[in-house]
Structure 1
Amino acid sequence: MQANDGLKAGWVLEGEQPLKKKGPGRGLHQSDVICSTVGWLLEASQTLKYGKNYDGYWTGELFIKQLVEKIIPAFENAHSLGYQALIMVDNSQGHSAYPVDALHVSEMNLRPGGKQCCLCNGWFIHDGQRVTQPMIFSPDHPKFPDAPKRIKQVLEERGLWQVGMHLECAKPKCLVDATSCFAKCVLGLQPDFTEQKSLVQEVIEAVGHMCIFLSKFYYNLLKALASVDVKTIWQWEHQMIQWMDAYREGKGIAPSQSL
């Protein structure tokens, strides 16, 4: 949102035009939380004066900081011990970022060479047993001591490497049900990679709470947040529960939403 803090009127000499700002004022980024039990959590609110010459821009790191220092403490202060939060997060690019050591094939090369992050340990199932797989070579490795493993090495250790396999599919577009046409596809479909959580989810779950990601949307102004009555939140929450129960029972859209 914009501050709209420009002058509305002023004095100028006859025949001259006032010099006005080119924009509607300083930009403000607002990150807020509405709780279904107490309403708007004012203590969790975070305002950023965005711009190169101000506070910078909103990032995933700033949201993590807000989670740890404001959102989670505000929820826990508003409720007694034993309550668990289900935090529904706006699915923006910054909020869905992964940890720097996340198991993510987009951060990996096919063969040794080039820059690559050091990933956390992975795992795979062998003969019914879960096997931990380090993603970094051992310190005494003859060729790559303490170096991150590439996709080919990881797949070879899992018995999944195929001779002639490329990093990505050479075709303009892979088949919808393709599972083994290129190395990134094979490794990316492994359970340890598919179960990789975002940094936001890891932080929330580390302190005993839960989270789900919603479709991307934009917050309204602070007045709109403050004007939402708790009873309205309760009513919509109960309505959603009724709709979900109806869908689980196999009812169609019209019967479900007529409840």
Structure 2
Amino acid sequence: MKVQLFIPCFIDQLYPQTAFNMLKVLQKAGCTVEYNSNQTCCGQPAFNAGFWDDAKEVCTKFLKDFDGADYVVAPSASCTGFVRNYYPKLFDNSSYHNDVKALRDRTFEFSEFLVNVLKIDNLGAKLDLKATYHDSCAGLRECKIKEEPRKLLGNVKGLELVEMKDVETCCGFGGTFAVKFEPISIGMADQKVSNARESGAQCIISTDHSCLMHLDGYIRHKGLPMQTMHIADVLASGW
């Protein structure tokens, strides 16, 4: 099975090891993995900021960069959800309509691709850690991902997974929301981290590094004894 990796901007710049770990896991799962080095952004930041014409230019490039790929897999439910749910609106009644429809059907977030497409929920990972899982808004509401990450994490040897209170509540990042409404954003991060700590977890795991980046910043600023990990980094552990 041929898979094209889409690596979001912030992972490319800030968390490249997560991209390499996703590659490692997909290859172990038997995939032939390709990476188009011409790829850039999915267009979500410009779209969310209201610059739809600029976003459309970026999205058009994305369509061309991933034309013909069997599957497009990303370590981000946020970017995946944007391609699935907002590309059809941007390109409605345009010459790209069919291309967008095809791309939507073959674009997947990493954990849902493993579980729902490859039918794999055990990668042989090992990690001695007590952790809790954070449902990102994009994963939960835009990609409808809930059980897939938990199935994968439930099969990681040595990992004790506990649920935190109000697990489906937003972490407060929301892209530019964290910049425009900083006090509210910080308050939401405080609530999320407090709930995670009350569960007894040492680590917060998620499908989205955007959420984790926000939470990790709060954790480090407060000097709290907690860490964050992307699910790809967890699944690449111990082998």
TM normalised by structure 2 equals 0.21
Higher percent of residues as helix: 2
The structure whose Rg is larger is: 1
Q: TM-score, length-normalised on structure 1?
A: 0.20
